[in-house]
């Protein structure tokens, strides 16, 4: 019979949240934010970017030198209820994440359509354009 050492202490929450079940198939170093699907349809590229937990107002889309940069930022608002509460474990993301996509040097701000629904940002822009644009522009997210 083989003896296996046992830990003397047991921390329910550390043990529970270190279980592989909570890793959701990716390592802790990888992020689950801004996973992107790219489609091609009717002469356009369509980017579907997962940005769960953010609102439309938390997201900024910038076009500069042919690159679309999507930035989502969120701040934790501390209120009296949070200060009085004694959390055992809290899993909320507050911070900033950003990702850039090459759209092409000829894509114009007015060529890009953006919408945000159910945590998914959808960007649609043409595959090709003829004029080169060099100014930094921001893209509005539609309803």
Q: What is the CATH number of the domain that holds 108?
A: 2.60.40.790
Query: Has residue 20 been placed in a domain?
Result: no
Domain count, the chain: 1
The DSSP element (H or E) to which 64 belongs, if any, is strand 59-64
Per-residue pLDDT reduced to its tens digit, 66-122: 999 999 998 766 555 555 677 777 666 678 899 999 998 889 999 999 999 999 999
Burial class (CB in 10 A: 0-12, 13-18, 19+), 106: middle
Binning pLDDT at 50, 70 and 90, where does residue 21 land?
Answer: very low
Q: 136 and 103 in contact (C-beta within 8 Å)? A: no
pTM of the entire predicted model? 0.63
Q: Which residue has the tokens 């690159």?
A: 67
Can you tell me the mean pLDDT for 58-68? 93
Range of the domain at 56: 33-78+93-139
């Amino acid at each position: 019979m083989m003896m296996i050492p046992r830990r003397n202490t047991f921390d329910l929450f550390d043990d529970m949240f270190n279980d592989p079940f909570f890793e959701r198939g990716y390592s802790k170093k990888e992020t689950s934010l801004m996973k992107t699907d790219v489609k091609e349809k009717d002469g356009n590229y369509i980017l579907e970017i997962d940005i769960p937990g953010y609102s439309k107002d938390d997201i900024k889309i910038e076009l500069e030198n042919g690159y679309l940069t999507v930035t989502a930022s969120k701040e934790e608002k501390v209120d009296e209820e949070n200060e009085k509460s004694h959390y055992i474990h809290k899993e909320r993301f507050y911070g900033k994440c950003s990702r850039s996509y090459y759209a092409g040097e000829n894509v114009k701000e007015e060529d890009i359509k953006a919408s945000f629904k159910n945590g998914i940002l959808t960007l649609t822009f043409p595959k090709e354009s003829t004029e080169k644009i060099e100014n930094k522009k921001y893209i509005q997210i539609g309803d």
